[in-house]
Amino acid sequence: MVIPGVMAISILPGLDNPDMVFPMAMKEFLPVGLMGLVLAGLISAIMSSVDSILNSSSTLIVVDFIKPKFPNMSDEKVTRIGIYTTLFLALLAALWAP
């Protein structure tokens, strides 16, 4: 992650906004087909991270807080509560992001 930023000083001179290093490097050095493949990989990595965070958070909430208070809860109900918790966390994150 650091190397493209360091290389941008010499490879992309005159770049005003440092946040544009990756997009400008892709635009300058990658052909169109490969740019799409790199973007697909980047989006996949971001989606995987978000999915892992939501899954872990939901599991911690259900297993550490809800399940101990209701030990006789069926597996179906635990799964349903986990799904609702994941949806709630995703909506909370979407509202918090702006």
Tally the C-alpha atoms within 13 A of residue 59's C-alpha that lie toward its C-beta.
6
The predicted-structure confidence for 8-43, as pLDDT tens digits, reads as follows 888 888 888 888 888 888 888 899 889 999 999 999
DSSP 65-85: IIHHH-TT--HHHHHHHHHHH
Closest CA to 90 of 32, 42, 51, 43: 51
- Asked if residue 79 is part of any domain, the answer here is yes
**Does the predicted model carry a pTM greater than 0.75?**
no
On whether residue 61 sits in a domain, the answer given is: yes
Looking at the domain assignment, is residue 27 inside a domain? Answer: no
Q: How far apart are CA 8 and CA 87, in angstroms?
A: 39
Please report whether residue 16 resides in a domain. Answer: no
Could you tell me the pLDDT band of residue 54, with boundaries at 50, 70 and 90?
very high
Q: Does 11 fall in a domain?
A: no
| Residue 51 resides in a domain | yes
Q: How far apart are CA 98 and CA 94, in angstroms?
A: 8
In a domain, residue 23? The reply is no
- When divided into structural domains, the chain yields a total of 1
- Domain hosting 98: range is 43-98
Question: Is 31 a member of any domain?
Answer: no
